[in-house]
Amino acid sequence: MICFEDFKNEIVLYVHWPFCISKCPYCDFNSHVEKNIDYTFWKNAFLSNLDYEFQRLPGVKLKAIFFGGGTPSIMKPELIKSIIRRAKNNWVHESEMEVTMEANPSSLCSNVMRQFKDAGVNRFSIGVQSFDDKELTFLGRNHSSIDAKEVIFKAREIFNRISIDLIYSLPNHNKKSWNKKLLNAFELLNQIECNHLSCYQLTIEDNTPFKIDYDKGVFKLPDDDLSSELYTLTNEVITLHGMEQYEVSNYSRYKDYCNHNLHIWRGGSYVGIGPGAHGRILKNKQYYATFKPKSPRAWVNKFNENNFFYSKDYLIPSKIRAQEILILGMRLNEGVNLNNLCEVSETQISKIINMKKVNELKDNGYVNLNDNNLHITSKGLLVLNNIISQIVI
Furthest-apart CA atoms within the chain: distance in Å: 59
Compare residues 42 and 66 and give the one whose CB is closer to ligand SAM. 66
* Residue 55 binds ligand SAM, judged by CB under 6 A: no
**Which of ligand SAM, ligand SF4, none is residue 98 near (CB under 5 to 8 Å by kind)?**
none
CA gap 342, 56 in Å, rounded: 26
**Taking CA 263 as the corner, what is the angle to CA 362 and CA 63, rounded to the nearest 5 degrees?**
160
The site string for ligand SAM over 242-281 (x = CB under 6 A, - otherwise) reads ----------------------------------------
Q: How far is CA 343 from CA 29, 101, 138, 327, in A?
A: 34, 33, 48, 16
81: number of Cβ within 10 Å:
17
Per CB under 6 A, which region of 21-29, 113-121, 327-335, 375-383 contacts ligand SAM? 21-29
CA gap 65, 72 in Å, rounded: 13
CA gap 191, 25 in Å, rounded: 32
* Residue 32 binds ligand SF4, judged by CB under 6 A: no
**Which of ligand SF4, ligand SAM, none is residue 165 near (CB under 5 to 8 Å by kind)?**
ligand SAM
Among 12, 15, 50, 71, binds ligand SF4 (CB under 6 A): 71
**Which of ligand SF4, ligand SAM, none is residue 23 near (CB under 5 to 8 Å by kind)?**
ligand SF4
Q: How far is CA 180 from CA 168, 221, 231, 285, in A?
A: 12, 18, 14, 51
Compare residues 104 and 163 and give the one whose CB is closer to ligand SF4. 104
Among 53, 165, 247, 256, binds ligand SAM (CB under 6 A): 165
Cβ neighbourhood burial of 250 (10 Å; 0-12, 13-18, 19+): buried
Closest among 64, 126, 53 to 90, alpha carbons compared: 53
Residue 367 C-beta: closest distance to ligand SF4, Å: 33
Q: How far is CA 285 from CA 20, 57, 90, 317, 324, in A?
A: 39, 12, 22, 11, 17
Per CB under 6 A, which region of 25-33, 115-123, 149-157, 373-381 contacts ligand SF4? 25-33
Compare residues 71 and 198 and give the one whose CB is closer to ligand SF4. 71
Residue 331 C-beta: closest distance to ligand SAM, Å: 15
Q: Please answer whether residues 259 and 63 qualify as being in contact, where contact means their C-beta atoms are separated by less than 8 angstroms.
A: yes
Per CB under 6 A, which region of 26-34, 55-63, 113-121, 351-359 contacts ligand SF4? 26-34
Q: Please provide the distance, in angstroms rounded to a whole number, between the alpha carbons at the two ends of the chain.
A: 24
* Alpha helix stretches (DSSP H) within 66-109: 77-90
CA gap 36, 23 in Å, rounded: 16
CA gap 367, 88 in Å, rounded: 40
Compare residues 307 and 385 and give the one whose CB is closer to ligand SAM. 385
Among 2, 23, 334, 355, binds ligand SF4 (CB under 6 A): 23
* Residue 296 binds ligand SF4, judged by CB under 6 A: no
* Residue 24 binds ligand SF4, judged by CB under 6 A: yes
Q: What is the distance of C-alpha 348 from the center of its chain? A: 31
* Residue 127 binds ligand SF4, judged by CB under 6 A: yes
DSSP conformational letter for 392: B
Residue 249 C-beta: closest distance to ligand SAM, Å: 9
> Hey, which residues between 104 and 123 contact ligand SF4 (CB under 6 A)?
104
Compare residues 71 and 323 and give the one whose CB is closer to ligand SF4. 71
**Which of ligand SF4, ligand SAM, none is residue 147 near (CB under 5 to 8 Å by kind)?**
none
**Which of ligand SF4, ligand SAM, none is residue 379 near (CB under 5 to 8 Å by kind)?**
none
Among 4, 31, 57, 119, binds ligand SF4 (CB under 6 A): 31
CA gap 362, 360 in Å, rounded: 5
Interacting residue ranges for ligand SAM, rule: CB under 6 A: 26-27, 29, 68-69, 71, 102, 104, 127, 129, 165, 167, 200, 202-203, 205
